[in-house]
Chains A and B, each alone.
Chain A
Amino acid sequence: MSSARRFLVAFAIAFAVAGAGTASAYHTQWIAQNCNWAAPTPTSYITRDGSITVALYARHEGYQWGGGCWNDNNVDDSPGDPKSDPNTGGEGPDCSGFTFKVWREAVDTSSTAFHQWWRLRHIHGPYRAVHFRDAVGAPNYPLSKSAAIKMDAYAKESHIGMIYVTNADGTDQIIEALGEAYGTNIWTRAYRGNSLYSGVRRLGWSQP
């Protein structure tokens, strides 16, 4: 076999094996095929209404553990990813990545700056739910739950969700990324009085 032929055969085998490995390891490759790593856009102020609008764009867009990228076609483009696998590369945020982008925080945990990340910018941010619960990071501070209003959050060790509106019966409608079977959406929850949850607020909202 000539050298050129050996090269071509080895190339073809390596290409097929590497490609197949990537496909199986990353399931949908939705992030790889749709998202970007562009720099965020700094903004001088953010409002609660503005963050609700950012959150509403993510509604119906799926869930990805460790994720943070979505479009706005109201469809989970990578449904049925294996649970508990952060490497499946699917559409949607997880709960803490969702909060980070909706609260428009900076990667630098000592910064309180406002960063617009855009839907298709893939980023999870430096915080997990437990970090929000413990108010880790300069932009996050602890809040008495009885004072929580829209776009404040309830966080526990394994989950965080933000208030959309409070219901007449004292429950809250929470906008959250809950899990692969749920995606990102608004549901009625009773997090406020649950002692596992703490209140946390993003620093620096402008009205409204």
Chain B
Amino acid sequence: MDGTRVSRVRLGRLSGVIAGVLAGIAAVVLAGTAVAHRIVEPASAPFIEATHVPPLLTARGEEVELRYDVYCGNGEAEADVDTPCAADGVVFVRAGDAGPFREMALREDRSTAEGRFVAALPDDIARSASGFSYHARFQSDQTGLTTGVPAGGADAPQRSLPLGRSIEVALGAHEFGRARETDARVVEAAWGTGSAEVGLEQGRNLTPLGGSAFDVEADGTVVVLDEANKRLLRWRDGRAVEALPVTVNGTLADMTIDDDGTVYVLETTASQGLNPLLRVFDRQGVAQGATAVAGRPSQVRVGPAGPVVLQSQSAQWMPAVVGERPVAMSEQVGAARSGRPLPDGRKVVILRTGDQVRVALVGNAGVLRSWIVHSETPVAEVQLAEPRGTGIVLVTRVFTDDRGEYVVLVLDRRGVTQRFSVGSVEWAETAPLSRFRLRGGSLYQLGSTPAGLFVDRFDLEVN
């Protein structure tokens, strides 16, 4: 056999192999492409959903309108999404918080982008000395689906209180860049997985999430929820002293600590098809139980009989655990109330409206004391409103399009007794209202930079 013939034979064999390889790859590509171009646009499930911002506190002489938005999915493809949801709405309203409700039809106001369904309250209800309570119901004309706001309906209506004679506070225009120096940096931790480090959930390539919440124990020990590493981290006298593993799901969560050291962690995401969990741990991080929470919860605080949770849709607080008994979701919804119940039996109610913050301490007979804070600089959220004696410590954020700072106000019957501002250094996302905690005579602030997380302490003046 000469060399030329051998080469031809080898070439022939090789070409068969190459053809086979190419055909195999082509078959995979074609199969994938064929599947990829299968166009399926199935009908979607119908829904109806309503939103409402409750006028929790009304000022003297104020016109009161109840406004709602309603969104419908009609169970078909999205062709008609821009057709306004056709729905009938009714609001049930009464003076005070007892007795029969009066039924009022909601009219549609298409001139506004927000609050399309509206009811103006009659004077006898709007100006009632004991305020008013109400709930609303909507039914889609197309699908017949209904929804109630709040979910508890007549059993747990929205509550609005008249402020009466409030203490007015004028902040004027905020001067940025004059934030107070911290009295102590009580926590400083790099991002990471070490025993004195705090984790970033998604790393640095995606939006940073980490150091989800914190609280302060009675002796000044700071506890950080390191949700990414599923731990509680303790710092005392500026030093990391303990890292306790806890069974959390590793996503953004709020946290609060009871006086006996019990730790409540409110998760804001859940496994598919389930509701978020409120998890309970003892001081050593040992799980004591978990309770599913209704709606879209965003905050947990300690109430008079256990942890209470804020439901975003209704702005109502719900009991999640009473004593050691978990509260079922239907019972949570039925027991939801406007205003955060405090351990001493009072409530604190806050409302930010425009560039104004209204805050009230409420007892059984109504508003005990209230303040209206006016700002010439736009106001964002109220981060903290905690009672201090007969007054309150209020932390709210003022902002422009490229700056933001917190204003700290210590308020009492005379008005402002102490005022200062602190910076907002917030590189990593946390639970929304977990930036500040008040413990004893000190205010603590959680912040972060690309280097890590910190907690600063600001000592308040003794009154």
Question: Does any Cβ of B come within 8 Å of A100's Cβ?
Answer: no
For the complex formed, measure the closest distance between the CB of A156 and the CB atoms of chain B, giving whole angstroms.
8
Interface string of B365-379 (1 = CB under 8 A from A): 000000000000011
Contact of A166 among B20, B53, B71, B401 (CB under 8 A): B53
For the complex formed, measure the closest distance between the CB of B171 and the CB atoms of chain A, giving whole angstroms.
14
Which residue, A13, A14, A129, A145, has most C-beta atoms of chain B within 10 A?
A14
Which residue, A31, A144, A165, has most C-beta atoms of chain B within 10 A?
A165
Q: Which of B40-48, B180-188, B218-226, B438-446 faces chain A?
A: B40-48
Question: Does any Cβ of B come within 8 Å of A126's Cβ?
Answer: no
State whether A205 touches B272 (Cβ < 8 A). Answer: no
A–B Cβ pairs within 8 angstroms, 30 of them: A3-B13, A6-B16, A7-B16, A14-B25, A15-B24, A38-B39, A53-B73, A56-B71, A56-B73, A72-B44, A83-B203, A146-B378, A158-B207, A167-B53, A167-B312, A167-B315, A168-B54, A169-B350, A171-B432, A171-B433, A180-B202, A181-B269, A187-B296, A190-B432, A193-B399, A193-B404, A194-B399, A195-B404, A195-B424, A196-B427
Q: A189 to chain B: which residues have CB within 8 Å? A: 429, 432
State whether A193 touches B397 (Cβ < 8 A). Answer: yes
State whether A10 touches B71 (Cβ < 8 A). Answer: no
Q: How far is the CA of A154 from the CA of B111 in the complex (A)?
A: 25
Q: Which of B74-82, B130-138, B232-240, B322-330 faces chain A?
A: B74-82
State whether A181 touches B45 (Cβ < 8 A). Answer: no
State whether B27 touches A15 (Cβ < 8 A). Answer: yes
Contact of A179 among B79, B201, B397 (CB under 8 A): B201
What's the dominant secondary structure at chain A's contact region?
mixed
Closest 6 A-B residue pairs measured CB to CB?
Answer: A10-B20, A14-B24, A193-B380, A170-B352, A50-B82, A72-B44
Contact of A192 among B54, B357, B381, B426 (CB under 8 A): B381
The total number of A-B Cβ pairs within 8 Å is: 273
Q: How far is the CA of A65 from the CA of B77 in the complex (A)?
A: 25
Residue of A nearest to B435 (CB): A190
Q: A74 to chain B: which residues have CB within 8 Å? A: 45, 273
Q: A178 to chain B: which residues have CB within 8 Å? A: 207, 209
For the complex formed, measure the closest distance between the CB of A64 and the CB atoms of chain B, giving whole angstroms.
12
Q: With contacts A7-B20, A15-B27, A15-B28 known, is A195 near B402, CB below 8 A?
A: yes
Contact residue range for chain B? 35 or more
CB-CB contacts below 8 Å: B207-258 with A: 207-209, 249-252
Q: How far is the CA of A168 from the CA of B158 in the complex (A)?
A: 12
CB-CB contacts below 8 Å: A119-178 with B: 119-120, 129, 144-146, 149-150, 156, 158-159, 164-171, 173, 178
State whether B201 touches A181 (Cβ < 8 A). Answer: yes
Contact of B41 among A14, A120, A181, A199 (CB under 8 A): A120
State whether A6 touches B380 (Cβ < 8 A). Answer: no
Question: Does any Cβ of A come within 8 Å of B38's Cβ?
Answer: yes
Residue of A nearest to B349 (CB): A168
Q: B249 to chain A: which residues have CB within 8 Å? A: 181
Q: How far is the CA of A116 from the CA of B78 in the complex (A)?
A: 8
Q: How far is the CA of A179 from the CA of B200 in the complex (A)?
A: 13
Q: With contacts A35-B36, A167-B312, A207-B110 known, is A194 near B298, CB below 8 A?
A: no
For the complex formed, measure the closest distance between the CB of B256 and the CB atoms of chain A, giving whole angstroms.
16
For the complex formed, measure the closest distance between the CB of B293 and the CB atoms of chain A, giving whole angstroms.
13
Q: With contacts A150-B69, A195-B424 known, is A54 near B207, CB below 8 A?
A: no
CB-CB contacts below 8 Å: B411-445 with A: 424, 426-427, 429, 432-433, 435
Q: A190 to chain B: which residues have CB within 8 Å? A: 380-381, 383, 397, 432-433, 435
Q: With contacts A72-B44, A192-B380 known, is A181 near B251, CB below 8 A?
A: yes
State whether A170 touches B312 (Cβ < 8 A). Answer: no
